[in-house]
Amino acid sequence: MRRFGYLAPRTLPEAVQLLSEHASVARVLAGGTDLVVQMKDGARRPEVIIDITGIDELRVLEEREDGLHLGALVRMGEIEDHPVIIARYPVLVDAARLVGSRQVRNLATIAGNTCNASPGADTPPALIALGARVYTLGPNGPRVIPIDQFFVGPGKTVLSPGELVTKFVVPRPGPNEGAYYERHTPRRELDIAVVGVGAWVKLAGEVIADTRIGIAAVYPTPLRATEAEAALRGQPFSAAALEAAAQAAVAQSQPISDVRGSAEFRRWLVDVLTRRAVTNAVARARGGGPRAGETP
């Protein structure tokens, strides 16, 4: 690994100032489970590392009036163990529990998973399904960005130089709402999604009054499957509605062939997992469905 400078701010304003000063050559360090690996294999060569793990306000994890506040430094392991998240935001457990091993999840943060901007990351589809907002702070002040507008391309986000993510806010779940995430990997643990689908639904009786669907690993960014959402919105939950949504999700996907799977296999997975994710989101909205993190 190349030599690099190391700075460890204790406050957010200090972090923003240091990031701005070293903007073109600096990189934020959180859990390091992506960044350190990338630095070791030469994929990223920052000259300065800004370690934000000493900034306590980035660790907020509580449900408030406007929803669940998830600080940038909240770790996957905290999400999968948190009683409020398990009870009220189980889709976050579905996704967080799949990241790496328990050792990885004890380091890996929610902002790191998002800011690394891998199209195959597991928590972005769940955050898209839940309609999360990303809170940032930079030299020009704070910003709030809808999660589905946060990603620009593989490894790229809308963050400007000197700007960092401070937290995510997930709206409080209302009655008759449910969400679910599932991915396909050849082995059960320590693997990256071939495809992953997260779905959120709001029911009005038998009708899907509203929905959001996020898909991993079939597009240059985590994909919000707006066409599939449109196929479901206002429709009774039925085999025909699922068929229309699955077809629309496949049509909107632009998968590539790589070591994890062919484009054709990925399209097939989008079809299958969209149906499953919506079906299990509906089951949760009705008060049943899989328990948090209980995905096949």
Ligand X SMILES: Cc1cc2nc3c(=O)[nH]c(=O)nc-3n(C[C@H](O)[C@H](O)[C@H](O)COP(=O)(O)OP(=O)(O)OC[C@H]3O[C@@H](n4cnc5c(N)ncnc54)[C@H](O)[C@@H]3O)c2cc1C
Footprint on this chain of ligand X (rule: CB under 6 A) = 27-35, 37, 72, 98-100, 104, 107-109, 111-113, 115-116, 121-122, 159, 164-165, 190, 192
- Judged by CB, which is closer to ligand X: 35, or 250? 35
- Judged by CB, which is closer to ligand X: 31, or 67? 31
- Judged by CB, which is closer to ligand X: 116, or 211? 116
Write down the least CB distance from residue 251 to ligand X, Å: 25
Write down the least CB distance from residue 240 to ligand X, Å: 33
- Written in H, E and C, the secondary structure of the chain is CCCCEEECCCCHHHHHHHHHHCCCCEEEECCCCCHHHHHHCCCCCCCEEEECCCCHHHHCEEEECCEEEEECCCEHHHHHHCHHHHHHCHHHHHHHCCCCCHHHHCCCEHHHHHHCCCCCCCHHHHHHHHCCEEEEEECCEEEEEEHHHCEEECCEECCCCCCEEEEEEECCCCCCEEEEEEEECCCCCCCCCCEEEEEEEEEECCEEEEEEEEEECCCCCCEECHHHHHHHCCCECCHHHHHHHHHHHHHHCCCCCECCECHHHHHHHHHHHHHHHHHHHHHHHCCCCCCCCCCC
Write down the least CB distance from residue 269 to ligand X, Å: 16
- Judged by CB, which is closer to ligand X: 159, or 282? 159
Write down the least CB distance from residue 74 to ligand X, Å: 10
- Judged by CB, which is closer to ligand X: 58, or 213? 58
Write down the least CB distance from residue 275 to ligand X, Å: 22
